[in-house]
Structure 1
Amino acid sequence: MVPRRCLVTGAGRGIGAAVARRLAAQGHAVALTARSADELAAVAADLPGRTLVTAADLTDPDAADLVLGRVEAEFGGAVEVLVLNAGAGTSAPLARTTDEDWARMLELNLTAPFRLLRRALPGMVGQGFGRVVAVASTAAKRGDPYVAAYTASKHGLLGLVRSAAAEVAGSGVTVNAVCPGYADTPMTAATVAAISTATGRTPGQARDVLAGRQPIGRLVDPDEVADAVLLCVASAAITGQGINVDGGAVQS
C-alpha cells in the first residue's frame, strides 16, 4: 500500500487510537488530534513510523484550519486520509434536553466534522486522491429514547457524508461513515456508569444490558471498527456509505 498522509481526530483513546495504530502499522504517516495532549502523546509513543501530535479543541471555529495547516506543513502536502472520529454523547429525556446540550452535540458531532471536511476536500480533489471516513453511530440509522440531541447530530453527520460523497464522486475522493453500535470504549464506560447510577444496577449488570442489545451478545471491539475504517481507506469503490459495525443490531 502506498504510504499516505493521515489525520485522525479524537485519537487519544478508544476507536480513534485503534484507527491510528492500524494506519501507522500499514506504514502511513499519522497525525493525531484531540483535546488532551497527554493522551495523544501516549498513543503516539507506541506508533511506528512518522507521527505528529497536535492538541486542539475542534469546536473552535479556527481549529480546522490550524490543525490541517500544521499537518500539511509537517507532512509536506495535503492530507490524503481524514478520519473524523472526535465526538461525544449525552442522554436526557427530550423534554429535559437543554439548549446547551443540543448545541454541544451539534457543534462537536456535526459542525466540527463539517469544518474539517470543508477544509480538507479541495486539497484531496486537487491531488486526485482522498479518503474521508466519519465515525458516526447506529444512532445515525435509528431513533432511540433519551438521546435525541446525540441522534440528531449523528443523523446529520451521515447526511453530510452522503452529500459530500455525491459531490466529489469521480474525483478520486471517497467519503464514508462507519456506524458502530456499543463499543468497548471510554464513551460506553460513561454510559455504563450513568445507567448504573440511574437504575441501581451494578456496572457489570449495566454493561450486560448494552451488550445484550447487540445480537452477538457483546460490545464491539474498537479494532473491529478500525477494520471497517481501513476497508474504506483501501477501496476506491466504496463511497457514500454508512457501514454498520454493531453485531447485527441494525440490518441495512
Structure 2
Amino acid sequence: MMLQGKHAIVTGGGTGIGLAIARALAESGAEVTITGRRLDTLQSVATDHIHPLQMDVQDEASVVDGIAATVAARGPIQICVPNAGIAEGRALMKTDMAFWRNMMATNLDGAFLTIRESLKSMTTTDWGRVIAVSSIAGLKGLKGAPTYTASKHALIGLIRGLAADYAGKPYTFNALCPAYVDTNIVTQNIDSIMKRTGMDADAARDLMVGVNPHGRLIRPEEVSEAALFLCGENSGSMNGQAIQIAGGDM
C-alpha cells in the first residue's frame, strides 16, 4: 500500500492501458479518479477506490472544472497520468485539417490541459508524479501514421520540458512508450488496416504484432507495472525519460 493517501487521476481510464494503470494504483492504496467522455463505461469499472469523472480532454472548460471538482472531493492530485489518446493511421496526402486537429487536440492538447490543471494542486504538496502515456511512435517514425507520430513526439517534448522546469523539486515527469498493446485500439486498427489495404483480419493483426520484436502484443499490465515503478520509493532520479515497453525495439 505504498500509495496510501495519494490521489491519482488517469485520463482515458475506463479501458485498456488507462484502466490497467488505474487498477494498479488503486491496489497500491491510491484513490484514483478515472476520466473519459462515456460515463457509463467509467461507472462499469468503478470501485470503492476508483472514481468515475466524465471529462472531455479536448474541452478546456471540462478539464478545468472536472479536475477542480475531483480535487475538492479527494484532495490534491499527486499522480497525474495523461493517457487519453487516439491511435489512427492515415497517409499525409489524405490528411485534412480536421483529422490533424482532432489527433492533436486529444493526444497533445488534452495532455497539456490535464497536466497544467493537475499541477495546480500537486505543487502544493511535497511529492508528485506525472506519467504520460506516449508510444514507441514518440521515439521513431511509425509508417503510415505521420500525424499520430507527430503528436506522440510532441508529448515527449512536453514531458522533457517540464522535467527541466521542475528539476530539483519533488515532482518528476516521465513518458511510457509502449509498442502495440492488446487493447481495443488494436481491434479498431485491424478494421482500419483492412479498409486501407484489403488485408484480412488475421493479416492485419499480424502486421501489428510484427512491429513488436518479441512477436506478441504487450499486455496492459506490463505498462501499468512501469507506471507503478515510477511512483515507487526509489524512482526520484527517473525524470524526463521516455521509457520503451516495446519488446526489444531499439
TM-score past 0.5 threshold: yes
1:191 maps to which residue? 189
Structure 1 residue 220, shift from structure 2 partner: 0.6
Q: Is the 8 A contact 2:163 2:240 kept in 1?
A: yes
Q: The residue matched to 2:10 in structure 1 has which SS?
A: strand
- 3-state DSSP class of the match of 2:207? helix
Checking the alignment, whether the CA contact within 8 Å between 2:13 and 2:19 is kept in structure 1 is yes
How many residue pairs get aligned? The number is: 246
What's 1:38 paired with? 40
The unaligned stretches of length 5 or more in structure 2 are none
Find the aligned partners of 1:96 and 1:197 in 2 and give their Cα distance.
14
**How far did residue 197 of structure 1 move?**
2.6
Secondary structure of the structure 2 residue equivalent to 1:169 = coil
TM-score by length of 2: 0.94
- Displacement after TM superposition at 1:42 (Å): 1.2
After TM superposition, the structure 1 stretch with the greater mean CA deviation from structure 2, 190-199 or 83-92, is: 190-199
Give yes or no for contact 1:35–1:57 (8 Å, CA) kept in 2: yes
Alignment-derived partner of residue 80 in structure 2: 82
Provide the C-alpha distance between the structure 1 equivalents of 2:73 and 2:123, rounded to a whole number of angstroms.
20
Matches within 5 A, 1:1-252: 1-3=2-4, 4-44=6-46, 47=47, 49-75=48-74, 77-234=75-232, 235-249=235-249, 251=250
- Return the TM-score normalized by structure 1: 0.94
Cα RMSD for the two superposed structures: 1.2
- C-alpha distance in 1 between matches for 2:176 and 2:198: 33
How far off is 1:87 after superposition?
A: 0.4
Show structure 1 runs of 5+ residues with no match: none
d(CA) in 1 for partners of 2:60, 2:122: 21
1:183 Cα deviation from its structure 2 partner: 0.6
Measured after TM superposition, the shift of residue 216 of structure 1 is 0.6
What whole-Å deviation, never above 9, does each CA across 1:189-230 have from its counterpart, x for those lacking one? 111111123333321221112111111100111111111111
Distance 1:107 1:126 in 2: 28
SS in 2 for 1:82: strand
CA contact (8 A) 2:3 2:28 kept: no
Cα contact 2:71–2:121 (8 A) shared by 1: no
Native 8 Å contact 1:125 1:171 kept in 2: no
Secondary structure of the corresponding residue to residue 146 of structure 1: coil
1:137 is aligned with what amino acid?
Answer: S
Counterpart contact for 1:8–1:83, Cα < 8 Å = yes
The superposition leaves residues 164-188 of structure 1 with CA deviations (integer Å, 9 ceiling, x where unpaired) of 0111122110111000101111111
Is the CA contact 1:139–1:151 (under 8 Å) kept in the aligned structure 2?
Answer: yes
Residues 52, 71 of structure 1: 8 Å contact kept? no
Aligned residue for 2:14, secondary structure, equals: coil
- Tell me which amino acid in the other structure corresponds to 1:121: L
Give the secondary structure class of the aligned counterpart of 2:54.
Answer: coil
Question: SS of the residue aligned with 1:127?
Answer: coil
Residue 38 of structure 1 deviates from its aligned partner by: 1.1
- Rounded Cα–Cα distance in structure 2 between residues aligned with 1:21 and 1:198: 35
Q: Distance in 1 between matches of 2:83 and 2:45?
A: 15
